Amino acid sequence: MAILLTIRFWVLAVALSCFSVLYGNLGRADEQVPQTGGVEYDPAEITAKALLCFNNKYIYSSCEESYRLSAGGKLDVPPQSTDEYCNGPCLTETNLVLSCIDNIFENFLFYNKATIQDVRDTITAACGHGQERGNFDVTEHMKTEASNAYKAVNQILFGFGLMIMGHGLLP
């Protein structure tokens, strides 16, 4: 009986250790400061350089100004202009702006807290042929992703709890 309790204790300890290692770092941002040759850069300088990508006349040259990505993380493309945006120069130029920002500051956050990947995902969905076609609302896309991620984590935790309880109930 004592051996069975000891085995169950160790199984629980190993399971909790694995869980803490796998999920202990969820939601933590990369806190490293970019460095080159031991010299740290000023975050304000890096952000200012990234913001210049929005005004680069060599990048944004053909896309209508009202359809351009803003530093706020917004794409004001009406649904009826989806084909024009997705099949014209705007898509290419917006991707160039995102690459420009990413090359300067990979952890860039727009004013609406969107990441570069959030904007890319929104554009992919809005230019796709699914339900989200024509929906260029980055904030709405972020909420949908966060909601789905929350559900997935809850399902994982629920399953993990059931496994531990099931193991504890088995003789």
Q: Would you list the DSSP string of 46-97? A: HHHHHHGGGG-TTTSSSS-GGGSPPTTS-----GGGHHHHHHSHHHHHHHHH
Any residues with CB less than 8 A from the CB of 56 and at least 6 apart, and which? 97, 100
Q: With a threshold of 0.85, does the pTM exceed it?
A: no
What residues contact residue 40 under an 8 Å CB cut-off, 6+ apart? Answer: 33, 34
Distance CA 145, CA 124 (A): 14
Residue matched to tokens 């031991």 = 38
Of 15, 13, 11, 19, the residue nearest 170 (C-alpha): 11
How many CA atoms lie less than 13 Å away from 99 in the CB half-sphere? 8
The answer to whether the beta carbons of residues 107 and 30 sit under 8 Å apart is: yes
Q: Per residue in 1-12, pLDDT tens?
A: 555 445 565 555
Single-letter amino acid code for the residue at 47? T
Q: What percent of the chain has pLDDT over 70?
A: 59
pLDDT at residue 49, rounded to an integer:
82
- Per-residue pLDDT of 26-85, as tens digits, reads 444 444 444 444 445 677 787 788 778 888 787 888 998 899 998 888 999 999 999 999
Name the residue ranges covered by the structural domains of the chain.
Answer: 41-138
3-state secondary structure of 36: strand
